[in-house]
Amino acid sequence: MLFCGFFLISDSIVPYLSSISAYLLATVAIWQLSHLMTRKICKHLRLVPPANKAVFITGCDTGFGHLLALRLNKMRFFVIASVLDTESDGAKALKASASNSSLLRIIKVDVTKDDDFIAAKTFVDEALTKHHFQLYAVVNNAGVNITYPSEWYPNATAEDYRGNLDVNFLSIVRTCRTFLPLLRQSKGRIVNVISYASRIGFEGLSHYCASKHAAAGFTDALVNELDQFGIRVVSIEPTLYLTPMVGGNRMCREMKQQFDALSPEVHEAYGDESLEMTSRLIRILTSPPCASNELDDVIDTLVEAIRSAEPPPIIVVAPFGIRQYFWFCCEFLPRDLLYSLKSCAKRILQFANKSKN
């Protein structure tokens, strides 16, 4: 749709379409080939053995954290899985499904509370000493997602951003500050689960994007700061995988609740059309083929980041078509051109909707 808007505006581009198409296809092919070669080479480098190594993971109640804890436990890493509630169904399922129960510890950590990290540090120190393990990796996986424009928040103040920032960004800071002394000893690694939303501002995701941009900037800085200690820092960017956090029906339901609670002035300014268009887009993006149920793609990548002797600093994980689209639009196109194309596409959609009516 973006490209349609561009072509409608400029007829003069038609004679050059074949050359442009060939150039774009060649660019995508070269990038994809280099991407695959890099991943293949990394996978065949020396792998770090799990013996005597512990991994601390946040957000293991459900989703990626839950699955990663089980995978690493099966591989015989000593896994310290943090959950929000040790009596939750997710925590109980984690304990019941562990292949090696003696190599799994489940601990309550609210990633927004400094006191919980102080307690977690004591817990980890005691566990490592008792079982003669070293903390080799920390995986910052905990995250939250809210989907509606910033003005739709109840109070529409800067405080509304605190929840997202606390979980998606400041929790990473807390985890790293807590466990860096142990990681320096082991020359281990930090793996931060971020998102492609750290690269571009998606409409209706201002809170989420702000927190992920902050997390990405912090991670980039850590890559350079901690290299002197032999600590590897990896950013994993999973996009459009169907975890409990990414549910189209839930997101649309919450968005409608916020929309219905708006003041008359804001409600009128946005209009029902805005709600309908955004809801339709969310349902498309959170359903196959855009979104994927193949969560093992992400778990495989997380394991690679933990076990590879030389992991790349950034790994994007997304369904194939979505990955190419995001790469082309967000990495290849200048940002001002991207905004122009988006504006054209929006006008075309609005015109199409009016024509139907």
The CA-atom distances, in angstroms, between 339 and each of 12, 85, 87, 329, 330 are: 20, 43, 47, 10, 10
**Structure tokens of 343?**
């504006």
Cβ neighbors of 132 (< 8 A, separation 6 or more) are 52
Residue 208 catalytic?
Answer: yes
**Alpha carbon distances (Å) from 310 to 100, 169, 189, 261, 307:** 28, 25, 10, 50, 9
Catalytic residue among 136, 196, 208, 241: 208
Report which residue type is found at 28. V
- Supply 122's token pair: 């004591």
In degrees rounded to 5, what are phi and psi of residue 315? -130, 120
d(CA 179, CA 175): 6
Q: Which of 164, 151, 146 is nearest to 253 (CA)?
A: 146
The separation between CA 153 and the C-alpha centre of its own chain, rounded to angstroms, equals: 22
Distances (CA, A) of 341 to 10, 28, 242: 12, 19, 28
The b/e string for 174-191 (b: 16+ C-beta within 10 A; e otherwise) is bbbebbbebbeebebbbb
Q: How many CB atoms lie within 10 A of CB 84?
A: 19
Rounded CA separation 214/49 (Å): 32
- Smallest CA-to-CA distance from 81 within 102, 100, 109 is with 109
Active site residues: 208
